[in-house]
């Protein structure tokens, strides 16, 4: 019922030439793939080239971040209108690295979510606990708080395009993956919170991805969990063969 989405977060990696080489190798590997949606999230300087390369393909392209304002005096930032004009269709919002290194709060995440929805850009809202929170037994509370604050003021109707990515911070870039059972348990908490906020129907159709050290050899076990509707992949998405293998989990 929920079509899985397999997303590549390239973070601050690749030159335009490297992105082009990735596309040349990757697109043929997944050209016949229809079971899952595929999306790439390159850094802003690569977007034009990657969008051009992905034209007429089954691969969507989005941004890793947007500003909440549509335009303005915000040096170094990228607006949703600029991204849309370029042909980007998705954006990550509130990735843990944005929260951790760029002081993004739940309130900023909420503003960005409204901006993305207003302009028809599919938002992937990232949530997840840090290790100390998990060890203190606070995971459920943290996830509920992040989801509730991110979704503030969003109606059930407006929420339909939203995708959530559960990314336990202790699993990102560490090689330490949540077990499928741990991930599924967090996904159940998140889905129940969405149901409480927006109703059972919206919650049942909302895709919740898992992210954090997803690799070709653990993708099947994770994504085949009933609760897990795809993956947000960092390190293992940088090589065409590796990301294609995850897409074809
Ligand atoms: P990772 O990153 O796959 O390298 O752990 C995931 C992410 O940060 O989205």
Which runs of consecutive H residues, i.e. helices, occur in the chain? 16-30, 44-54, 80-86, 96-101, 106-118, 131-135, 139-150, 180-198, 200-205, 216-223, 240-247
95 is catalytic: yes
In short, whether 173's Cβ falls inside 6 Å of ligand 1 is yes
pLDDT digits (tens, 9 = 90+) for 184-224: 999 999 999 999 999 999 999 999 999 999 999 999 999 99
**Cα(173) to centroid(ligand 1), Å:** 5
Q: Which of 232, 236, 237 to mutate to test the pocket of ligand 1 (most atoms within 8 A of CB)?
A: 232
Nearest CA to ligand 1 atom 3: 234
pLDDT digits (tens, 9 = 90+) for 74-84: 999 999 999 99
pLDDT band, very low/low/confident/very high, at 175 (cuts 50, 70, 90):
confident
Nearest CA to ligand 1 atom 2: 234
pLDDT band, very low/low/confident/very high, at 20 (cuts 50, 70, 90):
very high
Atom of ligand 1 nearest to the CA of 211: 6
**Cα(230) to centroid(ligand 1), Å:** 13
Taking residues 224-241, report their average pLDDT. 97
Q: Which of 55, 134, 147, 142 is nearest to 93 (CA)?
A: 147
DSSP for residue 72: S
pTM over 0.85: yes
In short, whether 172's Cβ falls inside 6 Å of ligand 1 is yes
Instruction: Count Cβ atoms within 10 A of the Cβ of residue 157 and give its class: 0-12 exposed, 13-18 middle, 19 or more buried.
Output: exposed
pLDDT for 118 = 98
Q: What percent of the chain has pLDDT over 70?
A: 100
**Cα(65) to centroid(ligand 1), Å:** 15
Q: How much of the chain is in helix, strand and coil states, percent to nearest 5?
A: 45, 15, 40
pLDDT digits (tens, 9 = 90+) for 67-105: 999 999 999 999 999 999 999 999 999 999 999 999 999
**Cα(231) to centroid(ligand 1), Å:** 10
Which runs of consecutive H residues, i.e. helices, occur in 199-234? 200-205, 216-223
Q: What percent of the chain has pLDDT over 90?
A: 97
Nearest CA to ligand 1 atom 7: 234
Which of 67, 90, 95, 187 is flagged as catalytic? 95
167 is catalytic: yes
**Do 138 and 175 contact (CB within 8 A), yes or no?**
no
Q: What does the block give as tokens for 227? A: 């609760």
pLDDT digits (tens, 9 = 90+) for 110-143: 999 999 999 999 999 999 999 999 999 999 999 9
pLDDT for 1 = 82
In short, whether 233's Cβ falls inside 6 Å of ligand 1 is yes
Taking residues 28-53, report their average pLDDT. 98
pLDDT band, very low/low/confident/very high, at 24 (cuts 50, 70, 90):
very high
pLDDT for 43 = 97
**Do 233 and 38 contact (CB within 8 A), yes or no?**
no
Taking residues 17-30, report their average pLDDT. 98
Question: Considering the chain, what is the average pLDDT of its residues?
Answer: 97
**Cα(212) to centroid(ligand 1), Å:** 5
pLDDT for 235 = 97
């Amino acid at each position: 019922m929920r079509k899985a989405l397999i997303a590549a977060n390239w973070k601050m990696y690749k030159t335009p030439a490297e992105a082009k080489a990735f596309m040349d190798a990757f697109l043929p590997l997944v050209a016949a793939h229809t079971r899952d949606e595929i999306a790439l999230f390159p850094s802003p300087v690569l977007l034009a080239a990657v969008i051009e390369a992905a034209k007429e393909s089954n691969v969507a392209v989005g941004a890793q971040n947007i500003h909440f304002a549509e335009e303005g005096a915000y040096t170094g930032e990228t607006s949703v209108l600029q991204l849309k004009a370029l042909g980007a269709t998705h954006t990550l919002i509130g990735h843990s690295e944005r929260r951790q290194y760029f002081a993004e709060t739940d309130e900023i995440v909420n503003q960005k979510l409204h901006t993305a929805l207003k302009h028809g850009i599919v938002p992937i809202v990232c949530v997840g606990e840090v290790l100390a929170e998990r060890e203190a037994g606070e995971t459920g509370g943290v996830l509920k708080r992040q989801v509730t604050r991110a979704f503030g003021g969003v109606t059930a109707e407006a929420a339909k395009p939203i995708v959530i990515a559960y990314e336990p911070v202790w699993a990102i870039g560490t090689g330490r993956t949540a077990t499928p059972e741990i991930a599924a348990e967090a996904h159940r908490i998140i889905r129940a919170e969405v149901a409480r906020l927006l109703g059972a129907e919206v919650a049942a159709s909302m895709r919740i991805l898992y992210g954090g050290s997803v690799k070709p050899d653990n993708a099947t076990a994770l994504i085949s969990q009933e609760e897990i509707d795809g993956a947000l992949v960092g390190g293992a998405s940088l090589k065409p063969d590796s990301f294609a293998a995850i897409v074809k989990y």
